[in-house]
Amino acid sequence: KRQAAEEAKRQTAAEAKRQAAAEAKRQAAEEAKRETAAEAKRQAAEEAKRQAAAEAKRKAEADAEAKRKAAAEAKRQAAAEAKRQATAEETKHAAAAEAKRQAAEETKRQAAAEAKRKAEADAEAKRKAEEEAKRQAAVEAKRKAEEEAKRKAEEARKLAQELAAREQFLKEAVARHATLIKQRVERYWSLPLDSSDTLSCTLRITMMPSGAVTSVQIAQSSGDTAFDNSAVAAVQKASPLPVPGDPDVLAKFRNFNFRFKPGG
C-alpha cells in the first residue's frame, strides 16, 4: 500500500514536471512568436522608413531635374532669341552687302559688255579691212600668177619645141654618124672563109673623144665565131673612128652598141 502511494506520488510529480515542461515550452514558443512579430514589425517600420526616404529623395531629385530643365530651357530660349536676332542682323548686313556686290557686278558687267562690244566692233572693222586687203592681194596675186603661168607655159612650149627640134636633130645626126662609122668599118672588113655575108652581130664599142677605140666586145653574137672576130678586127683597124662635131652627138658614141651587118 505504501509502495502504491509512492508510485502514485512519483507519477504525480512526473506529471507535474511534464506539465511544467510543456508550459515552459509553450511560453518559449509564445516568446519566440512575439519576438518574430516584433522583428517583422521592426523590419516593416524600417522598410516604410526606407521607402519614405527613397520617395523623398526621388521627389527632391525630380524637383531638382525639373528646376534644371526649366533653367536650361530658359537659357536655350534666350540663346535662340539672341541667335535669331544675330542671324537677322547678319542677314540684313549680308543682304545689304549682296545688293552692293550685285550693283558693282552689274556696273562691271555693263562696262565689260561695252568694252567687249567696242572691241568686237573694232575687230570686225579690222577683219573686214584685212579681208579686203587680202582679197585685193589675192586678186593681184592671181593676176600675177596667171601672167607667170602664161609666161612659163610659153617658155615651156618654146623649150619643148627646142628640145623636140634638138632631139630630132640628135636622132638624125646620130643616124648619119652611125652610117659614117659603118662605112668606115666596112672598108676595113674582110669576109672570112666559110662565112656568109648575110650574118650580123652587135658590138659594144668604147672610144675616146678623139675617136680612138679603147674597147670592142661582142654584145650579141652572129653564131659564127669567125664572122664575129672579123667584125671586131675591122673596128680595131678602123680606129680612130669618125668624130662628130656636136658634143651631144659625140656623147652618144663614147660607149655604144654597133650593129655590124655588111651591106645592110
Residue 68, pLDDT score: 95
**Res 94: pLDDT:** 53
Question: In the prediction, which pLDDT does 99 show?
Answer: 45
**The pTM is what?**
0.43
The whole-number pLDDT of residue 185 equals 98
Handedness of CA 179, 185, 191, 192 (dihedral sign): negative
Domains of the chain: 161-260 (3.30.1150.10)
Full pLDDT tens readout for the chain, 264 residues = 899 999 999 999 999 999 999 999 999 999 999 999 999 999 999 999 999 999 989 998 999 998 999 788 979 997 779 799 957 488 688 545 784 999 559 989 996 669 799 968 677 979 997 899 899 988 998 999 899 999 998 999 999 999 999 999 999 999 999 999 999 999 999 999 999 999 999 999 999 999 999 999 999 999 999 999 999 999 999 999 999 999 999 999 999 999 999 976
| pLDDT for res 46 | 95
- Quote the pLDDT of residue 138: 85
Place of cell 652572129: 222
